[in-house]
Amino acid sequence: MACIAVQEGADEAGVSPPKLIAITLLTSVSSRQLAFDLKIPLELPEYTLEMALMAQEMGLDGAVCSPQEVAALRQSCGDDFLLVCPGVRPSWADTGDQKRSLTPLQAIKAGADYLVVGRPITTASNPELAWKRICDELPVL
């Protein structure tokens, strides 16, 4: 099993092992695409839950998931299971190709451990200002 090999390698090297996470479903995939393009007969929330539970059963440390599914996954997988949410968009940013997104504050309140906020910063005319705006919208944690 990959998890065991990573743990053993880290032990041999005398370092902390990296956190291993799985991807449930890309945040750019919609319910319609899941059903018709990918031919998966499950509803989107049920599918992402199945993928997260499978990752947890395999001994992985967490999963990448849409912020819209994070609350359900947190409830089912527990507080120790890391949830990484890409496609997070501040209210003032264009959602682009993201089908299942929330604002940074909404994602944190839903239970996300880590947020991925890429394009609202990297495509901004002033990336530093965009980052500051995002930080200003978040409570001091």
| Alpha carbon distances (Å) from 14 to 1, 20, 21, 99 | 20, 18, 21, 42
pLDDT, tens digit only, all 141 positions of the chain = 566 677 777 777 888 888 999 999 888 888 899 999 999 999 999 999 999 999 999 999 999 999 989 999 999 999 999 999 998 889 888 777 777 788 999 999 999 999 998 889 999 999 999 999 999 988 765
Q: What is the pLDDT of residue 69?
A: 92
Q: What is the pLDDT of residue 76?
A: 96
- Topology of the domain covering 17-137: TIM Barrel (3.20.20)
Query: What angle, rounded to 10 degrees, do the helices at 44-57 and 70-77 form?
Result: 40
Q: What is the pLDDT of residue 92?
A: 86
Q: What is the pLDDT of residue 2?
A: 60
Strands (E), the chain: 21-23, 62-64, 82-85, 114-115
pTM: 0.82
| Alpha carbon distances (Å) from 5 to 22, 43, 52, 53 | 16, 34, 21, 21
